[in-house]
């Protein structure tokens, strides 16, 4: 009995258009049809998926755009995305042993990508991403982190603060833009009540 390909109905001949291993497993597809099936189901070849620097990016990511890119900037500037319009992202703390006691607190759409950007400017690749937190409004969260860091640091130069890594981590972990205004409002009311009772 002549076996035929289930997809294109061509006669299957072992060694020419049909792999011997497929014959043993009873896969009745010719080599061209088998390659077609594998290329469609292979996630690497799926045209609806996004990869940045070889890393898979979920569909839920705010910058998701099908294709393969070296960086998020490449994805953003290739199409209609504008990085300035994206609010979501991360606030991070980065250190470098070349500057002991200093911590950089910054923001990025992707903290790990930002770290790799710093590494390219350092021949020793000695920047360390100490900690990062997600934020619904990265610019607002960064401003709040800088305000808190200024109060705790010994010295500051732009986004670099002379403080311990533990202090920076505490600052980042306590960022919560939804609750900040409520906390500040309660604090001012308590201060006003306290001043009123003193006088």
Q: Is 177 within 8 Å of 140 (Cβ atoms)? A: yes
Q: Which residue has the tokens 């001043």?
A: 195
Residue 172 has pLDDT above 50, yes or no: yes
Rounded mean pLDDT of 169-198? 52
pTM (2 d.p.): 0.52
User: Could you tell me the pLDDT band of residue 147, with boundaries at 50, 70 and 90?
Assistant: very high
| Ramachandran quadrant class, 54 (left: phi over 0; alpha: psi -120 to 50; beta: rest) | left
Q: Sign of the C-alpha dihedral, residues 58, 64, 67, 69? A: negative
Domain ranges, ordered by start, for the chain: 1-42, 50-85, 89-179
pLDDT, position 195: 42
Q: What are φ and ψ of residue 34, in 5° steps?
A: -65, -40
Instruction: Please answer whether residues 30 and 17 qualify as being in contact, where contact means their C-beta atoms are separated by less than 8 angstroms.
Output: yes
The more confidently predicted of residues 89 and 72 is 89
Distances (CA, A) of 113 to 12, 72, 89: 49, 8, 12
Mean pLDDT of the chain: 78
- pLDDT of amino acid 4: 83
To the nearest 10°, report the CA torsion of 65, 69, 73, 77.
Answer: -60
| Stretch among 17-26, 96-105, 144-153 having the lowest mean pLDDT | 17-26
| Encoded tokens for 55 | 């890393």
Tokens of 192: 């006003």
The answer to whether residue 59 scores a pLDDT higher than 70 is yes
């Amino acid at each position: 009995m002549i076996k035929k390909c289930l997809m294109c109905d061509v006669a299957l001949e072992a060694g020419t258009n049909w792999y011997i291993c497929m014959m043993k497993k009873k896969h009745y597809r010719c080599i061209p049809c088998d390659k077609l099936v594998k290329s469609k189901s292979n996630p690497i070849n799926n045209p609806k998926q996004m990869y940045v620097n070889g890393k898979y990016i979920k569909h839920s990511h705010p910058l998701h755009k099908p294709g393969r890119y070296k960086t998020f900037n490449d994805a953003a500037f290739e199409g209609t995305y504008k990085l300035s319009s994206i609010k979501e992202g991360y606030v991070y703390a980065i250190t470098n042993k070349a500057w002991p006691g200093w911590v950089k607190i910054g923001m990025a759409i992707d903290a790990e990508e930002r770290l790799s950007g710093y590494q390219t400017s350092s021949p020793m690749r000695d920047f360390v991403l100490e900690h990062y937190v997600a934020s619904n409004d990265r610019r607002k969260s960064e401003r709040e982190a800088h305000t808190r860091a200024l109060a705790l640091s010994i010295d500051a130069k732009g986004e670099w603060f002379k403080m311990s890594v533990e202090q920076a981590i505490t600052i980042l972990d306590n960022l919560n833009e939804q609750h900040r205004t409520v906390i500040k409002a309660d604090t001012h009311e308590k201060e006003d009540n306290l001043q009123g009772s003193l006088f």
